[in-house]
Amino acid sequence: MIRRVVSMVAAVLLTASYTFAQDRGTALGGVAFGSKPSAVTAAMTDLGLTPAALDDSRTPFPLDQTFAGKIDGRQVLVVAMYDSREALEKMLVSFITSDTECLQFYRDFKLALMREYGDTHADVEQWKAPYDGGKHVGREQVAIRNGKGFVGATWERDDLDSTAGMSLSVASNLTVTLAYESSRWATELDRRRKVLSSVPSGSRQQ
């Protein structure tokens, strides 16, 4: 069942459903970096995902969008992040997995991405004491949840005349997250840090 879902999800991720400028990299459903919020909404709607209400509407980045729904029965949460010109520069796709299946889902998904994009740029499974030295075996989920384990892989992809990043990892809450970052994300991240530094802490939302 896990492998069937991974194959389906990978097919959706890798299929370009929209026609965009060829010099930009793409994210979920073939949405290109630089796309406007309306285009991202249309693409997510075609995937069966709908806008998700945030718990706190106060945010220094009001253009950002959140979508939720299922892809082939797998619950997903998508966060799209835009720069000040309303251009998509990062997308996070979180797959809600049970504790017992998260690592198998991650590893199967990583293999599917490797078949499409080639070898990883980095591939890390790191375990800290008391889970180092092989003592993580059978207790991987506990180690990750306690911040003593990290599992992740990255790829480099083309975007404009530079490189975009793509990563797959298991979060501390044992969900599997696929992150797409454009070649312009570092500039946008710097802008966001400056914005956050000027916002009262009670109003911050990352």
Query: Tens-of-pLDDT digits for all 206 residues of the chain?
Result: 455 555 556 665 555 444 444 588 999 999 999 999 999 999 999 999 999 876 555 788 999 999 999 988 889 999 999 999 999 999 999 999 998 899 999 999 999 999 988 999 999 999 999 998 887 888 889 999 999 999 999 999 999 889 899 999 999 999 999 999 999 999 999 999 999 998 776 554 44
Q: Report the side by side order of strands in the sheet with 65-71.
A: 50-51, 65-71, 74-82, 88-95, 176-181, 162-170, 149-159, 122-127
Sketch the domain layout of the chain as residue ranges: 2-120+159-199
How high is the pLDDT of residue 16? 44
Q: Which residues contact 85 (CB under 8 A, 6 or more apart)?
A: none
The residue type of 22 is Q
Please state at what angle helix 2-14 crosses helix 102-117, rounded to 10 degrees. 40
pTM: 0.85
How high is the pLDDT of residue 14? 53
Q: Which residues contact 133 (CB under 8 A, 6 or more apart)?
A: none
Instruction: At 100, list the tokens.
Output: 């017992």
Distances in whole angstroms, Cα of residue 136 to Cα of each of 27, 71, 109, 144, 173: 33, 31, 21, 10, 17
Instruction: At 176, list the tokens.
Output: 């599997």
**Residue 12: which region, alpha, beta or left (left: phi > 0; alpha: psi -120 to 50)?**
alpha
How high is the pLDDT of residue 205? 47
